[in-house]
Amino acid sequence: MLEAKLVSQSHPNHRSLIRLSEQVAIGGNGIVIIGGPCTVESQEQMEQIASRLASVPVQALRGGVYKPRTSPYSFQGHGVDGLKILAQVRQRYGMPVVTEVMSIAQIEPVAAYTDMLQVGSRNMQNFELLKALGEVNKPILLKRGLSATIEEFVMAAEYILAHGNPNVVLCERGIRSFDPYTRNVLDLGAVVALRQLTHLPVIVDPSHAAGKRELVPDLARAAIACGADGLIIECHPEPEKSVSDARQALSLEDMVALVESVEPITTAVGRTLSRNNLQPITGSNLPQILAA
């Protein structure tokens, strides 16, 4: 493994806690679930999602406004108008929002309107973007590249820390294989390894890994069982009508059922799931919180 001085796990009890808002932080004892559509389509769509999920508890919202589409003729996202929609639901429901940034020019508007900036798989090794995100005062959600090794993933995170931003959450979202049945292969071994190699929180995106909605809930539970610090899941009020990634989108009712079904797994692994995700400091998690 190349030298990853800043992201490496130097002490077994040291785990970073990455704060999205006053109430929500990733990497503590609590599990964080981020839910929302692939693409922000309308104010009404985001309102429906936030109002249904806020109490479930889904602690944060997702939704793309700058979309990395395979075809240049597909919808590319609402841009700044989409950011304004995210800002409104964020304010109304008190939920932090995360959205993707694809270029250095997009950093400023995205940082102004949202709580966390996502680097998508296709940009995991866009080193100039990673360096620029090192200078941002907001947490970064770094998704694993489509065919990135664990070492390449760790070193991409190292770029952001080396350039000054310690607030990085890693996201395993599946890697390419020969088998098209699942869109990607969810690498839960990487989740375990990344939590051993680094002090950064690791969340799992079963939606982009599976590509099929009926596979998502079981993969979500498996992710929590193997130690993931959270989940990011695509859902939509009318999944079949999603402008992107429709096949993997859960209905809001299925999303609620998924969250409820994850809860006993969180308990089984000694974690918690709550609306307010800043866990009280107890004897067992005090060292991690102090070290964070």
Q: φ and ψ at 39, to 5 degrees?
A: -125, 135
The SS3 call for residue 196 is helix
CB of 196 to Mn ion, least distance (A): 28
Within residues 3-62, the interface with ligand PEP by CB under 6 A covers 38
Spacing of C-alpha 184 from chain mean position: 17
Looking at beta carbons only, is 41 or 205 nearer to ligand PEP?
205
Spacing of C-alpha 208 from chain mean position: 11
CB of 80 to ligand PEP, least distance (A): 18
Helices (H) and strands (E) in the chain, counts: 10, 10
CB of 100 to Mn ion, least distance (A): 9
d(CA 132, CA 108): 10
Q: Are 143 and 165 in contact (CB under 8 A)?
A: no
Looking at beta carbons only, is 67 or 195 nearer to Mn ion?
67
Residue, CB closest to ligand PEP: 120
Q: Which amino acid is at 211?
A: G
> What letter would DSSP give residue 247?
G
Selected binder of ligand PEP within 8, 21, 68, 162 (CB under 6 A): 68
d(CA 177, CA 223): 19
* Cis ω before 72 (30° cut-off from 0): no
Looking at beta carbons only, is 10 or 74 nearer to ligand PEP?
74
Q: Residue 266: which of Mn ion, ligand PEP, none does it interact with, CB under 5 to 8 A by kind? A: none
d(CA 125, CA 148): 9
CB of 246 to ligand PEP, least distance (A): 12
Looking at beta carbons only, is 229 or 245 nearer to Mn ion?
245
CB of 14 to ligand PEP, least distance (A): 28
Looking at beta carbons only, is 115 or 245 nearer to Mn ion?
245
Selected binder of ligand PEP within 82, 120, 139, 206 (CB under 6 A): 120
Selected range binding ligand PEP among 15-23, 40-48, 101-109, 115-123, rule: CB under 6 A? 115-123
The SS3 call for residue 31 is coil
CB of 244 to ligand PEP, least distance (A): 7
Looking at beta carbons only, is 155 or 232 nearer to Mn ion?
232
Residue 208 near ligand PEP by CB under 6 A: yes
Report angle CA 171, 174, 177 to the nearest 5 degrees. 155
Looking at beta carbons only, is 200 or 210 nearer to ligand PEP?
210
Instruction: Taking the CA atoms of 29, 37, 221 and 145 in sequence, report the sign of the dihedral they define.
Output: negative
Which residues lie near ligand PEP (CB under 6 A)? 38, 64, 68, 120-122, 143, 173, 205, 208
